Structures are given as C-alpha cells and as structure tokens.
Chain A
Amino acid sequence: MTGAGPAAAVGTHDMLAARINSFSFHGDAAPALRNVEFGVRAGTLTAVLGGSGSGKTTLGKLLAGWHRPGHSGTLAGWLELAGERLEFRGGGDDPRINPAGWSDRVGYVPQDAAAMLSTVRSTVAEELAFGLENRGTPRPDMLREVGRIADLTGLAAFLDRDPATLSGGELRRLAIACAVITEPQVLVLDEPLASLDAAGVIVVRDLIARLTKAGTAVVVLSQSADGLARSAARWLVLDGGTAAAGGRPRELLRSPELARSGVVLHAVTHTAPAVRAGLPAGAAPVLELDGLGFCYPGAGGAAGERPLLRDLHLRVRPGEVVAITGPNGAGKSTLLRHLNGLLQPLAGEVRVQGRSIASLPTGRVAAAVGLLFQHPRDQLFERTVLREVGFGLRRLRGREAGAAADAALDAVGLSGEAGTHPAELPASKQRLLALATALARRPAVLALDEPTVGLDRHGLAVLRRAIDAEVARGAAVILVTHDPLFASSTAHRVLVLEGGALREP
C-alpha cells in the first residue's frame, strides 16, 4: 500500500464508494470537487482531511445524499451504495437519489449540529423519534429505540429537555443520535469534535469507537490531524477540491501532500517563540480598565448576585499583545464587549487613549477599537469582498480609503478574492475577511474573540502575521482564546479570567 495514490482508494468490499470526476454547484463556474475516489469498509474509521474550502463537506454531503446530483449541482462520476452503482453524466436522464432511501443506509451529521434538528419537536426524546415517526414506526418500537439510543449516546438524563437549551457537546451528541437511530451502515461526521470541551471530546470519541465496533463504517471530516483522525484506518487528504493523497495515517503524516494542505498538525505548527519578546517600554497605556464591575440583569440566580466581572483592572500599552483565557462562562466575551461600549460597566471605567468611552456610542468607539466577534458572518453584509473592507472607510480615512482597503486585503491574503461574494468564501476566509475589515480602519486597539476557531493552517499563519504587523504598527491587541498554545506563542502576557478578575496563570 506504500505510495498509494488517490486512485487506490476504492476497494471491492466497500460499503459505500464514489468516483467523482467533477461536481459543481449550480451557478458556480468552477467545480467544487474533481478527481476524487473514495470508499469505506464496514466497521472501520476513515478520515477525510483538508483545510477550509478543500471540499470535504461537499464530499461528505454527496456521499450521504444531502447534496443530490441534479438537485444541488452537477455530478459527473458514480456513487455506489449497498452494491448498487449509480452513474451520473450531468444530464437530465441521470438517476435521481431518493433521500429517504439513501439516508436509511448513510447518516450524516453536519458541523453545525443545530442544523440537524427539526425545530418542530419540543423535547430531546421527540426530536430523537422524529425520524422514526416519519418512517411510520409503531409507538412501542419507537419508545424502545429512543431509550436504546439515549443510553448509547449518554442522553438518557436529557430526554425531557428542550433541545434549544442543550450545551454544544450535548447538542452534538443529540445530532449524532438522530442520525444513528435508524441504524445506517455508514455514518459521516463533519468536524465532530469542533468546539467541544475535553469531556465532550471523550464522550464523542467513545461513541465513535462503539459504532465502529458494532460494524458501522464511520467517516470523519476534519480540518485537523488530531487524535481522532490519527486513530483512523485510512486517510483521504483533500486540497483545493481534489484528492491530494490517500492511504494509512502513518504513511501520510509526514507526506508533502499533507504539509501543503491546510490541515492543522498540532505538533508541527508550534514554531513561534513560547513568549513574545521585546515589550515596548514606557509608552502611555492605550487601553485602561479601572475597577470594572458587571453582571447581567436578572442573571444572579437564587444564590445571590455574584457579579460576572468584579473590580477588574487591566492596562495595555501600544504594541502589546495580551491573551485572555479562562473556563467557559467566565465572562471572557463579556469583558471584550466592554472595550467598545457594547456593554456599559456597572462600576469602574474604560479609557481608550486616555479618554473615557462611557458616553460614546459603539459606532464611534469603533474608530479606535476594532472588535472581532466569534461569528464573522454577522458582520459581513456587502456584495463583494472589496466593498466589504471599504465600507465606511471614506469617512474615516478620506482619500486613502481605496489604498487602505487593498492593503488590508493583502494583509490577510484575500487580494485575489476582491470580487467574490463574502458568503461564498469558505469559513476560514470569512473570518480573515472580518479581520481585514477591522485592520483597514487602523484601530489603536484590536480585540479578537476566539480568532483561531475554524481557521485552517494557512489561516492561522495569516492571523499570526497580521498580529505581528499590528504590533509593529503600535496597536494593542487583546485576544480571548481557549487555545493555550496559541495564547502563549502570540502574546506578551497571558492572563486568566476567573472569579470576575484577571490574574497571572
């Protein structure tokens, strides 16, 4: 199997196999996938690795019948499931996939687990039963199946909860449970570990192990060669919509194909110095938080009003990078929202460049403080990438506006995408575009909320470069992250937010 090219990926005993000569979405000029061969065997784990925009989600949805050829786009190639091969030529007489029949055999769980939910069922138990109801399963069988799957996925304690109130990890387990309750032979999971805490990762990995043991063929789509991916029997590496390599993990881990792709390799990416050297000396702080106190109205609970932030102090000088970490719910995002006046502190004061921002609307503070949110899509609204970065720049930068927009796009490596619709960019590039909109305004303070989430390796490199450039320009950078490695390798200072105040780790 050494040197196995992508063409060797299909075997004779495959439960699900595909040969994709090309697949393009309606209205797109270029194909999203081309020259991919793929096959999975019962009882094994297969990982499809690739960076943002590499086509792994498209491949996963094609395999699972979520993207139906002819309906979602045009496919040339074939799909083979349960010994039945469907040939597609992209014409009107192609076979039409029956989503109900296909999904009896192949399950798919999207990265955004909430997308799996029907939105019309009010408890976890009913949500689980939704797929059975549609199949006309008699109620006694349904009750038994819901109980069995709840035990398997550790959801037994949540059966009466409203799905909308579940945490991220619980939601992911519910989505997987919804997909496996009809006992498909193949299960495709898109980034099953994304944004899970350590406990959630253990539960999901354990579940995957149990499913493969029971004979299910599991396919994991991932942006990162993490522990789960490394436990797979086979890898397929996608790059730019095409198969770059396929084979066993051990053979591919050090391959140039993997290195060229956007896949994050945790052991390798850590190249920056452990702590950034050269703190600028003497300059007056550009951002001061003085005795900040805050609690959300009505969030105190019965146990008394415990404020989320309490007598919090922070001074950040120009050219300094401060990373803030801390457990979920400690108030990290809440703290960031105080920096530009989205939230007003109940006690204390926020000063930017020496001036209190207490009476200024956020829209005005934004000239000095650029704040980047976790969900970049909420911030994007223009028709092209260039217009997005140029929005409102003229008022701020006058004649330089055009040049500033170009420079910001260049800084995040999106110069080649100036005419693209922001929504058509892959997630990683959307995040970088949102970063560019902040960079173009040359803020004195740049505040980033979980900037690494969803970034592939190329994106991470761009982010590091951009932060370096901001530091060189003399801007202060404050970032909130759950990634300790990124925090320690990027920041001058790492602080932990706990019990409402910041402390050294």
Chain B
Amino acid sequence: MPAPLHPLTSLTAACCTAAVTTAAGSWPLSVAVSAAAAVLAVRAGAGRRVLTAAAAVLLPLGLSLLMLHGLFFPEGRTVLAAWGPARVTAEGLAFALEAGTRTGACVLVLLLFSFTVSAPDLVAALNVRGLPPQFSFVLASALTLLPAVAGRLGAIRTAQESRGLVLGGGALARLAAVRVQMVPLVLGLLEESGHRAQALEARGFGRPGPRTSYREVPDPPAQRRLRAVLLVLAAAAVALRLGASWPAAGLL
C-alpha cells in the first residue's frame, strides 16, 4: 500500500464489503471475502487475534445453524436422510451454508477493521468530521477501561480470597461469590466515573462551540475518492438486491 489507510477509508471499505456481500447472497463470494479478510489480517500481523475473535463468535453460530437447518427444515424437499422428526434436506444444508458464510464474511471483514485500525486515529478522524465528541469519548473510554477492569477484577478476587472467601461449590455458593465480587467493582467504577465527570467538565469537555484536534491524521485525496466509489458501489448493490426482490417479497 502506498499510503497508510485513513481510518475512515478502512471503515468504509469494511462496511461496504459487508453490505455488498450481504446483498449478493452467494456463498462462493462470501467464502472468497472471508478468505481475503483472513489473508489481510495475517499480513497486517493481527491474524491470531482476528481469527480467535471470529472463531469465538462463528463456531457456536455455525454449529447452531447446522443443527437447526441441517436437521429441521420443513420447507426442504430433497430429503437426504431422516430419523423420526429430523430430516436432513439439501435445501436446509444449503440454507445453513449460505447464512453461515454470509455472517462469517461480514464478521471477518469488520473484525479485520477493528483489530487493525488505530483507535486514537479513528477517534481523531471522527472528531474532525464533526461527530459529537460524546460518541468518540464513549468509544475510546470503553476501549481503555476494558483491560483495566479485567485487571481490577483480578485484584478484587485476590483481596477477597485473602479474607477467607472460598471460590467454588454449588451454583448458589458461586452466585454469592459473584455478588461479593460485583459490589466493589461496580461501586469503584461508579465512583470513579463521578470523579471523571468532574474532571472532564473542568477540562472543558461539556463546553459548547468548536473543537480542535492535536492529533493529525493525513487523508490523501485519492482515499477520499476511493471512499466515494465504495459507497456508490455498495449503494448500487443494495438497490439492485432490493429492486430484484421487492415484488418477490410478497409486498402487501
């Protein structure tokens, strides 16, 4: 790539790819998109993280789809095998394949975006575009808080074990243990957020009027044009699909 991708370019690319894949609804395209996303993720050095996160989402979904449509598909006509109420139909398997690959492609493309984008750049780019600063605050702050809170939960757990709290036992005992861990966590987070609100107000966060940005994210004109083209393509794909199936969808 000649210039690093502007965060909005990669965001647009991801969203447009997802939209086009969904509109196309053809499993070979979905598989190709998934493979391309996986390759790009590996080349960007985020392969493991993207694939782990995708697997955590897609494996249960895929198995669920396979069980649901593979065994029970009343609309299916080509019966391949049947055990009692369960019937394996070609249509059902095709449906599972189609739905699974479509979701898989979208998930991989969007994860590729979120695991390769630089969050500070994205926030700066969104702010410059005039998005409310509140939105980028929630986004960036959540990304900062998540790992911190996981560490905090560990600290609470060790502190409480030292007080004689024994983890384990039946579901009720574990529920009680969870409550005991939740209270300091929630209390601490709420109190901190109260302090943070005061600090943000004092630093002018609630102030009306225009803002400026310290961080500069270069946005070459070529990428602006690319984004426009991608948006037009996606819009065309969606319009084609809606136009094609509108009458077929059994409109009132």
Chain B nearest CB from A4 CB (Å) reads 32
Which of the segments A82-90, A111-119, A410-418 contacts the partner chain? A111-119
Question: Are B203 and A126 closer than 8 Å at their CB atoms?
Answer: no
* Residue B52 lies at the interface, judged by CB distance under 8 Å to chain A: no
The complex places the Cα of A438 from the Cα of B188 at a distance, in Å, of 22
A-B complex: 7 closest residue pairs judged by Cβ atoms: A363-B166, A134-B204, A120-B140, A129-B214, A99-B201, A366-B164, A103-B202
The complex places the Cα of A226 from the Cα of B136 at a distance, in Å, of 42
Question: Are A125 and B214 closer than 8 Å at their CB atoms?
Answer: yes
* Residues 348-403 of A contacting B (Cβ, < 8 Å): 361-364, 366-367, 370-373, 375, 377-382, 391-392, 396
Chain B nearest CB from A246 CB (Å) reads 26
The complex places the Cα of A110 from the Cα of B197 at a distance, in Å, of 13
The complex places the Cα of A126 from the Cα of B214 at a distance, in Å, of 6
Which among A133, A337, A342 has the highest number of chain B CB atoms within 10 Å? A133
User: Which one, A103, A134, A135, A366, contacts B163 given CB within 8 A?
Assistant: A366
User: Which one, A102, A371, A423, contacts B191 given CB within 8 A?
Assistant: A423
Question: Are B159 and A136 closer than 8 Å at their CB atoms?
Answer: no
Question: Are A363 and B156 closer than 8 Å at their CB atoms?
Answer: no
* Residue B165 lies at the interface, judged by CB distance under 8 Å to chain A: yes
Question: Are A108 and B144 closer than 8 Å at their CB atoms?
Answer: no
* Residue A139 lies at the interface, judged by CB distance under 8 Å to chain B: yes
Question: Are A132 and B214 closer than 8 Å at their CB atoms?
Answer: yes
Report if A100-B140 is in contact (Cβ < 8 Å); known contacts: A342-B161, A423-B187, A437-B163.
no
User: Which one, A133, A142, A378, contacts B159 given CB within 8 A?
Assistant: A378
Which of the segments B2-10, B29-37, B205-213, B238-246 contacts the partner chain? B205-213
Q: How large is the interface on A (under 10, 10 to 19, 20 to 34, 35 or more residues)?
A: 35 or more
**Which residue from chain B places its CB closest to the CB of A378 in the assembled complex?**
B159
Chain B nearest CB from A342 CB (Å) reads 5
Question: Are A103 and B159 closer than 8 Å at their CB atoms?
Answer: no
Question: Are A136 and B209 closer than 8 Å at their CB atoms?
Answer: yes
Chain B contact residue count (CB 8 A cutoff) = 52
User: Which one, A115, A130, A342, A367, contacts B158 given CB within 8 A?
Assistant: A342
* Residue A164 lies at the interface, judged by CB distance under 8 Å to chain B: yes
Question: Are A178 and B163 closer than 8 Å at their CB atoms?
Answer: no
The complex places the Cα of A407 from the Cα of B57 at a distance, in Å, of 53
**Which residue from chain B places its CB closest to the CB of A104 in the assembled complex?**
B204
* Residue A59 lies at the interface, judged by CB distance under 8 Å to chain B: no
Q: Determine the chain B residues whose CB is within 8 A of the CB of A131 once the complex forms.
A: 203-204
* Residue B11 lies at the interface, judged by CB distance under 8 Å to chain A: no
Chain B at the A interface: SS class: helix
Residues of B at the A interface (CB closer than 8 Å) are: 119-120, 123, 133, 136-137, 140-141, 144-145, 148, 152, 155-156, 158-167, 180-181, 183-184, 187-188, 191-192, 195-196, 198-207, 209-216
Q: Determine the chain B residues whose CB is within 8 A of the CB of A373 once the complex forms.
A: 155, 158-159, 162
Q: Determine the chain B residues whose CB is within 8 A of the CB of A382 once the complex forms.
A: 183
Q: Determine the chain A residues whose CB is within 8 A of the CB of B136 once the complex forms.
A: 120
The complex places the Cα of A239 from the Cα of B243 at a distance, in Å, of 76
* Residues 94-110 of A contacting B (Cβ, < 8 Å): 99-100, 102-103, 107-108, 110
Report if A136-B210 is in contact (Cβ < 8 Å); known contacts: A110-B199, A115-B196, A423-B191.
yes
Chain A nearest CB from B60 CB (Å) reads 31
Which of the segments A11-19, A60-68, A469-477 contacts the partner chain? A60-68
Which among A122, A136, A340, A396 has the highest number of chain B CB atoms within 10 Å? A122
The complex places the Cα of A437 from the Cα of B159 at a distance, in Å, of 12
The complex places the Cα of A396 from the Cα of B187 at a distance, in Å, of 28
Q: Determine the chain A residues whose CB is within 8 A of the CB of B120 once the complex forms.
A: 121-123, 126
Question: Are B155 and A375 closer than 8 Å at their CB atoms?
Answer: yes
* Residue A137 lies at the interface, judged by CB distance under 8 Å to chain B: yes
* Residue A441 lies at the interface, judged by CB distance under 8 Å to chain B: yes
The complex places the Cα of A364 from the Cα of B212 at a distance, in Å, of 56
- Known A135-B204, A363-B165, A378-B155; further 7 A-B contacts with Cβ < 8 A: A107-B202, A126-B120, A135-B207, A142-B214, A143-B214, A380-B184, A382-B183
Report if A139-B203 is in contact (Cβ < 8 Å); known contacts: A120-B137, A361-B166, A441-B164.
no
Report if A138-B212 is in contact (Cβ < 8 Å); known contacts: A99-B201, A108-B202, A119-B145.
yes
Q: Determine the chain A residues whose CB is within 8 A of the CB of B148 once the complex forms.
A: 164
**Which residue from chain A places its CB closest to the CB of B140 in the assembled complex?**
A120
* Residue A243 lies at the interface, judged by CB distance under 8 Å to chain B: no
Q: Determine the chain B residues whose CB is within 8 A of the CB of A126 once the complex forms.
A: 120, 214-215
**Pair count A-B, CB < 8 A:** 159
Q: Determine the chain A residues whose CB is within 8 A of the CB of B166 once the complex forms.
A: 361, 363-364
Q: Determine the chain B residues whose CB is within 8 A of the CB of A121 once the complex forms.
A: 120, 140
Question: Are A118 and B203 closer than 8 Å at their CB atoms?
Answer: yes
The complex places the Cα of A245 from the Cα of B27 at a distance, in Å, of 80
Question: Are A363 and B184 closer than 8 Å at their CB atoms?
Answer: no
Question: Are B212 and A366 closer than 8 Å at their CB atoms?
Answer: no
Q: Determine the chain B residues whose CB is within 8 A of the CB of A340 once the complex forms.
A: 162
The complex places the Cα of A115 from the Cα of B184 at a distance, in Å, of 17
**Which residue from chain B places its CB closest to the CB of A142 in the assembled complex?**
B214
**Which residue from chain B places its CB closest to the CB of A129 in the assembled complex?**
B214
Q: Determine the chain B residues whose CB is within 8 A of the CB of A380 once the complex forms.
A: 184
User: Which one, A99, A116, A372, A378, contacts B206 given CB within 8 A?
Assistant: A99
**Which residue from chain A places its CB closest to the CB of B164 in the assembled complex?**
A366
User: Which one, B155, B181, B200, B211, contacts A118 given CB within 8 A?
Assistant: B200
Q: Determine the chain A residues whose CB is within 8 A of the CB of B181 once the complex forms.
A: 381
Report if A100-B159 is in contact (Cβ < 8 Å); known contacts: A66-B198, A381-B180.
no
Chain B nearest CB from A96 CB (Å) reads 12
**Which residue from chain B places its CB closest to the CB of A447 in the assembled complex?**
B162
Question: Are A392 and B165 closer than 8 Å at their CB atoms?
Answer: yes
Chain B nearest CB from A449 CB (Å) reads 10
Q: Determine the chain B residues whose CB is within 8 A of the CB of A122 once the complex forms.
A: 119-120
The complex places the Cα of A146 from the Cα of B192 at a distance, in Å, of 26
Which among A110, A142, A182, A366 has the highest number of chain B CB atoms within 10 Å? A366
**Which residue from chain A places its CB closest to the CB of B187 in the assembled complex?**
A423
Pairs A–B under 8 Å by Cβ, sample size 24: A66-B198, A102-B202, A115-B199, A118-B137, A122-B120, A126-B120, A126-B215, A132-B212, A136-B209, A136-B210, A136-B211, A139-B213, A142-B214, A363-B161, A363-B166, A363-B167, A364-B166, A366-B165, A373-B158, A377-B188, A378-B156, A379-B162, A382-B183, A392-B165
Which among B152, B158, B162 has the highest number of chain A CB atoms within 10 Å? B162
Question: Are A103 and B141 closer than 8 Å at their CB atoms?
Answer: no
Chain B nearest CB from A225 CB (Å) reads 26
